[in-house]
Structure 1
Amino acid sequence: MDDQIRNLIQNHIDNNDVCLFMKGTPDAPQCGFSMAVSNMLKILEINFKGVNVLEDQKIREGIKTFSDWPTIPQLYIKKEFIGGCDIVKEMYENGELKKILETKGINFKK
Structure 2
Amino acid sequence: MSDIHAFIDNKVKTNDVVLFMKGTPDFPMCGFSGQVVQILNYLGVPFKGFNVLENNELRDGIKSYTNWPTIPQLYLKGEFVGGCDIVREMFQAGELQTAFTDAGIPVKAPAA
Q: What interval of TM-score do these two structures reach, taking the shorter chain for normalisation?
A: over 0.9
Q: Deviations over 1:14-34 (max 9, x none)?
A: 111000000000000000000
What amino acid is the match of 1:16?
A: N
User: Shift in Å at residue 106 of structure 1?
Assistant: 1.0
User: Does the alignment pair 1:38 with 2:37?
Assistant: yes
Whole-angstrom CA distance in 1 between matches of 2:2 and 2:69: 20
Unaligned ranges ≥5, structure 1:
none
Answer yes or no: is the 8 Å Cα contact 1:47–1:109 preserved in 2: no
What amino acid is the match of 2:39?
A: M
User: Does the alignment pair 1:47 with 2:50?
Assistant: no
Partner-residue secondary structure (3-state), 1:107: coil
1:81 equivalent in structure 2: 80
Answer yes or no: is the 8 Å Cα contact 1:47–1:108 preserved in 2: no
Q: Deviations over 1:39-69 (max 9, x none)?
A: 1000000000001001100000000000010
User: Does the alignment pair 1:19 with 2:15?
Assistant: no
User: Shift in Å at residue 7 of structure 1?
Assistant: 0.8
Structure 1 segments of 4 or more deviating over 4 A?
none
1:62-73 superposed matches below 5 A: 62-73=61-72
1:61 equivalent in structure 2: 60
User: Shift in Å at residue 109 of structure 1?
Assistant: 6.6
2:104 equivalent in structure 1: 105
Whole-angstrom CA distance in 1 between matches of 2:19 and 2:105: 14
Whole-angstrom CA distance in 2 between matches of 1:92 and 1:57: 30
What amino acid is the match of 1:7?
A: A
User: Shift in Å at residue 91 of structure 1?
Assistant: 0.3
Instruction: Indicate the RMSD between aligned Cα atoms, in angstroms.
Output: 1.4
TM-score of the aligned structures, taking structure 2 as reference length = 0.93
